[in-house]
Amino acid sequence: MIEVKNLVKKYGNHLAVDHLDFTIEPGKIYGFLGPNGAGKSTTMNIMTGYIGATEGDVLINGHSIVEEPKEAKKYIGYLPEIPPLYMDMKVIEYLKFAAELKGIESGKKAKAITEAIELTKLHDVSDRLIKNLSKGYRQRVGLAQAVLGMPDIIILDEPTVGLDPKQIIEIRDLIKNLGKNHTVILSSHILQEVSVVCDYIMIISHGKLVASDTPDNLEKLMENTTKLSLKVKADKNNIENILNSFDEIENVEYTTGRDETMTDVNITTPVDIDIREKLFYSFAENKMPIYEMTSTKMTLEDVFLELTQEKKEDE
Amino acid sequence: MLAVYKRDLKSYFNSMIGCVYIAFIIAFVSIYFAYYNLRMGYPYFGDVMCSVAYILMLALPILTMRSFAEERKSKTDQILYTSKSSVTGIVIGKYLAMATIYLIPILWFCVFPLIISAFGTHDFKGDYSCILIVFLIGCAYIALGMFLSSLTESPIIAAVMTFGILLILQLMSGITNFISTSNLTSFIGCVIVVLIAAFIYYAIARNAFVTAIISIVGVMALIVTYIVKSSVFGNFIPTLLNKLPLTNTLDNFAIHTFDVSGVVYCISFGLLFIFLTVQSIQKRRYS
């Protein structure tokens, strides 16, 4: 279990992490989601004890990372954004070094290394220099290092960046498997990834936690509106005249595409009202053909965009 | 600590720096040995060792430059600082790895006095104490180089800074000749030292109030001392600067004097910079 208490990190005048407060329960996969520069990596670096916080504390299974680093770090395996690999070492040498550094007893060392190699499928390259490995394999070596000795908590900072689609699926499966027996925290700015893999999502923007819930609940949170997108062969003024007669519409946006005779309209309505039929007949009466009409619910992507943009408007 | 030590030691041989360094030092000193002791028949290897010790100034920065700068650049320090090992343990592990590489040619030089003894007159005590002091001075230089490497991300800058400082230390006696020995200049020198100390304190603690107190009290004390008894300052700064270079000890050893204070100075110099390395790393992580 990890408790993050009122965490603040300042770089000069820039507030990278802004009073962050959350608790991570054991045995689940957590996703840190946020745009670039939101403070995900900084938070992870503080949680793993790589850098200190300006204010606040992190408790790992009850041990403060600042006051009892030795005890707290025992429970953590960490894969930073750039895997910390020594290019002049062989994979197997590197893992041996990592095992020694983590203080794994010499009796269990060989077993732990074999386990990590098996899990990350590194058999074929274990005798090669890390320098000569591809990006995907390097990422896996970094991952092997993080899971070495099977710590309770595994923290992965953007584990799938730079991998090919097949490798991404492999790593996702691996993370899901790890999630069965461990607490996994991963960060990403890719939505699909987090929604597929994680049990729980935390959206961070400008160093603040803006939302944290399960993927389903987050979608439900935004389901109070429905969006309609239309493509109509008419100009903006004529469409406006028709739409003005609809009381149900909350918001309308117009855009003109490449084809000037067409107008794209985005309509937002309350979730329980369907105005599609009414729209169809009114446009038909006025001899304005509708080329396209689609109804979309808010997706996780919209939630993400809305939550991370709201903050910007506040400023 | 042990893990870091073993990894670093191996890495010096993987990257050839270790081999090239050892080969270079052995070749350089051996040429002097062959010329002075074997060809000219001079029976004291210790003197030769002391007079060629300046080569350390050129060679050791190459050895120390990568120690922390490279780790920081390639972000491999993340695995070190997020592991269970303490920062002190990591610093000592790295330091010992460098000291071990440095020790290898020194051990080789221990054979040279034995070769001389086969030909007649020899002075084991003098020779081996000289080898010892050269080893200690090198260890102190390594600590300095490691500290400078921990300040930057670029190994090249670390090497140049280390070389620059060692060069200034080497040339110190020449530099101090330029400094006036009058009471007033020494007084001004002392004021500057106090202000630099206050500035360093401010850079670390960011406490303007205490910094102001340190500088005001320090400068006031100096002014009072200067008014009451200005002769205290006479020659103070040049004498102080002249005491700084470690190579002074070398001169004493070269004339067959075992300079205990010099040995203590070398060891404290080394310990101070190991301590400062730990501090500089902690500071960067926690601010």
Q: What is the pLDDT of residues B53-101, one digit of tens each?
A: 888 999 999 999 999 999 999 999 999 999 888 899 999 999 999 999 9
- Chain B hits for A104, CB-CB cut-off 8 Å, are none
Residues A100 and A111 sit within 8 Å (Cβ to Cβ): no
pLDDT digits (tens, 9 = 90+) for B100-158: 999 999 999 999 999 999 888 888 888 999 999 999 999 999 999 999 999 999 999 99
**pLDDT by residue (tens digit) across B232-282?**
777 777 777 888 888 888 888 878 888 898 899 999 999 999 999 998 898
Residue type (1 letter), B67: S
Give me the residue from B2, B10, B79 closest to A98, CB to CB.
B79
In sign, the C-alpha dihedral spanning A230, A233, A239, A243 is negative
**DSSP assignments along A27-82, one per residue:** T-EEEEE--TTSSHHHHHHHHTTSS--SEEEEEETTEETTTSHHHHHTTEEEE-SS
In a 3-state reduction of DSSP, which class is residue A4? strand
Residues 6 or more apart whose Cβ sits within 8 Å of residue A182 = A27, A150, A151, A152, A153, A154
Q: What is the pLDDT of residue B131?
A: 92
Q: What is the per-residue pLDDT for B199?
A: 87
Helix (H), strand (E) at residue A291: strand A290-297
Domains of chain A plus CATH, in order, are 2-214 (3.40.50.300), 224-297 (3.30.70.260)
Contact A218, A211 (CB under 8 A): yes
- Using CB atoms, pick whichever of B7, B83, B285 lies closest to residue A51: B285
| pLDDT value of position B287 | 67
Check residue A206 and report its DSSP letter.
T
Contacts of A55 in chain B (CB under 8 A): none
Nearest-CA distance A151 → chain B (Å)? 12
Output phi, psi for B184, to 5 deg.
-65, -45
Enumerate the domain spans of chain B: 2-176+245-285, 182-234
By the CB < 8 Å criterion, does B92 face chain A? no
Which tops the pLDDT comparison, B3 or B208? B3
Q: Please provide the DSSP assignment of B15-38 as one string.
A: TSHHHHHHHHHHHHHHHHIIIIII
Residues of B in contact with A87 (CB under 8 A): 74
Provide the pLDDT for residue A315: 45
Enter the DSSP assignment of B213. Answer: H
**Residue B239 to residue A291: CA distance in whole angstroms:** 93
Q: What is the pLDDT of residue A223?
A: 65
pLDDT of residue A190: 79
In the predicted model, what is the mean pLDDT of residues B173-177?
A: 79
Q: How confident is the model at residue B285 (pLDDT cuts 50, 70, 90)?
A: confident
Low-confidence ranges of chain A (pLDDT < 70): 221-225, 297-300, 310-315
Chain A residues whose beta carbon lies within 8 Å of the beta carbon of residue B2: 100
Residues of B in contact with A48 (CB under 8 A): 82
- Residue contact B83–A48, C-beta within 8 A: no
Give residue for tokens 């073993």: B6
Q: What is the pLDDT of residue A297?
A: 65
Q: Does the distance separating the beta carbons of B83 and A101 come in below 8 Å? A: yes
Burial (CB < 10 A; 0-12, 13-18, 19+), residue A260, is exposed
pLDDT at position B33 is 92
Q: Which residues on neighbouring strands pair with residue A23, listed in sequence order? A: A3
Give B166's pLDDT tier (boundaries 50, 70, 90). Answer: very high
Cα nearest neighbour of A42 on chain B: B285
Identify whether the C-beta of residue A109 lies closer than 8 Å to the C-beta of residue A95.
Answer: no
| ipTM value | 0.83
- Test B82 with A51 for CB contact under 8 angstroms: no
If one compares A171 and B160, the residue with the highest pLDDT of the two is B160
Nearest-by-CA chain B residue for A85: B76
Query: What is the distance between the alpha carbons of residues B151 and B284, in angstroms, rounded to a whole number?
Result: 9
